[in-house]
Amino acid sequence: VSNSYHQQGVGIVGAGLVGCLAALAFNAKGFSVTLFEYRDDPSKTKNDNLRSINLAVSARGIRALKYVDEEMAERILEHIIPMKGRMIHDLDGNQTSQLYGLFGEAINSIDRSFLNECLLEEIRHTDIKVLFNHKLVAFEKNHGEDQTPKMTFIDTSEGDAASKTFEFDYIVGADGAHSQFRTQLQRTMRMNYSQEYIDMQYIELYIPPSESAKDDSKFLLNPNHLHIWPRTNHMLIALANKDGSFTCTFFSPWSVIEGITSTEQWISFFKKNFKDAYDLIGEARLATVYETHPRGSLLQVNVYPYHSPDGRAILLGDAAHSMVPFYGQGMNCGFEDVRTLMELIDEKGGDVLEAFRSYTEIRKADLDAICKLALDNYHEMSHKVTSLWYLTRKRIDSLLGKLNGKYFQWIPLYTMVSFRDDIRYSQAIEIEKRQGRFLNNIQYGFLSAVAVTSLIKGLQMWGRRT
């Protein structure tokens, strides 16, 4: 980011992944940034968050990091583990690799808390003011004659009585799926809003590093794959960490987990469905998980528009579009929000009000598209990856993808979403629809040909007999 705008004040609510990147991006453009975070400073507290998940960072996220600061991106990317495909584990523990990319492309595993801490560390080297233990409780638009919006926070380090009010030229709400800023903003404008809980829960588990192995083989599973144990209506996934461990996530409908009523039942369920993972995790750890780890719920949130009518406030990241995690795009998309907004600010010559307005206009189709894709991908991960129809389709899709540009244009959907940062999510859906129709014709055409040939053969045999 090279442009520099005069010192206008930007207040950002939420120092999660998106809030931090937005703070760095505004700061790099010369804005005076204050970042508010409900939690305590993670560098001063022990992380006992049992929901510390691994994220897959892919092309869009990486492009946004590089856009904000190329060197920062390099520093962060040193800590990723590339995953070039899925490793499917069947009930007998057999593993089959399915590559993601056509030419060895990979998505990248990184611990969410670690990434958040990396971004906060970058922030510590800037003049961004970070106020931890500040919980947003109120927002008022058009305060005073200069139309400056006002936010009220409780300083939780000083007790409930310590409420403080701040005024900014512009406000960014990046306080996550349950955004308080969004709730406050909705009171001041006509904002469409929908929230849907998906009938799905998740629990985090852990595969430790190998105790006996030397440094180069400290992983008990292949680290360069996203491991999946697809079991139709539930599944387990595992992503590698740098220390040789794997963070696993068990996803299932609520009825499955609620149907398990004791530690013994949970252990035998696990042993039956994920025998090889059971061996790696161990019974004692599984028992602890069942007894102490929280069950997370998954929800989809959509809002429209993303900015306030006066153009002074905007929602980014999960606060604007919480999606289910099955395409690994929530954060990547949030990072892309930041880049998109910054490019608009440049395009509008530093007119933030105009940039906020244009952002809503151009971003809606893409945010709707990725929320839909994320939901659809659950069926692919939990079920379709093992079906012959899907596997054949994938083969043809990949083959055509490899020929892309030679005789025709063909880019598989996964490539468009995860490995390309120049194709909008909404475009990806449109292109996939066209390609999908063609693949259907090939597959149904092939099936019809087989059916007709069998019918002819059957009739010939019948004719010979009579």
Binding site for ligand FAD (CB under 6 A): 13-19, 36-39, 53, 55-56, 112, 135-136, 174-176, 180, 202, 249, 296, 317-319, 325, 328-332, 334
Shortest separation between residue 94's beta carbon and ligand FAD, angstroms: 25
Looking at the Cβ atoms of 66 and 112, the one nearer to ligand FAD is 112
Which residue from 311, 314, 310, 298 is spatially nearest to 13, judged by alpha carbons? 314
Q: Rounded CA gap, 122 and 17, in Å?
A: 12
Looking at the Cβ atoms of 18 and 102, the one nearer to ligand FAD is 18
Residue 466 burial (C-beta neighbours within 10 Å; 0-12, 13-18, 19+): exposed
Shortest separation between residue 56's beta carbon and ligand FAD, angstroms: 4
Q: Rounded CA gap, 260 and 190, in Å?
A: 43
CA torsion angle 351 356 361 367 (round to 10)? 140
Strands of the sheet with 129-131, listed across from one edge: 129-131, 32-36, 9-13, 170-173, 313-315
Looking at the Cβ atoms of 244 and 325, the one nearer to ligand FAD is 325
Shortest separation between residue 107's beta carbon and ligand FAD, angstroms: 8
Shortest separation between residue 399's beta carbon and ligand FAD, angstroms: 27
Residue 112 burial (C-beta neighbours within 10 Å; 0-12, 13-18, 19+): middle
Going from the C-alpha of 33 to that of each of 68, 80, 300, the distances in angstroms are: 15, 28, 29
What is the rounded end-to-end Cα distance, in angstroms, of the chain? Answer: 82
Strands of the sheet with 234-240, listed across from one edge: 95-99, 85-89, 225-231, 234-240, 246-252, 192-207, 296-304
User: Beta-carbon neighbour count of residue 166 at 10 Å?
Assistant: 18
Looking at the Cβ atoms of 55 and 344, the one nearer to ligand FAD is 55
Looking at the Cβ atoms of 36 and 290, the one nearer to ligand FAD is 36
Looking at the Cβ atoms of 135 and 141, the one nearer to ligand FAD is 135
Looking at the Cβ atoms of 112 and 384, the one nearer to ligand FAD is 112
Shortest separation between residue 460's beta carbon and ligand FAD, angstroms: 55
User: Beta-carbon neighbour count of residue 116 at 10 Å?
Assistant: 20
Q: What does the DSSP assignment read for 124-165?
A: HTSS-EEETTEEEEEEEEEETTTTEEEEEEEEGGG-TT-EEE
Shortest separation between residue 325's beta carbon and ligand FAD, angstroms: 3
Shortest separation between residue 142's beta carbon and ligand FAD, angstroms: 21
Looking at the Cβ atoms of 171 and 400, the one nearer to ligand FAD is 171
Measured from each CB, the residue nearest to ligand FAD is: 16
Shortest separation between residue 60's beta carbon and ligand FAD, angstroms: 9
Q: Rounded CA gap, 355 and 165, in Å?
A: 26
Looking at the Cβ atoms of 175 and 410, the one nearer to ligand FAD is 175
196: left (phi over 0), alpha (psi -120 to 50) or beta: beta
Measured in whole angstroms, how far is the alpha carbon of residue 104 from the centre of its chain?
21
Shortest separation between residue 22's beta carbon and ligand FAD, angstroms: 9
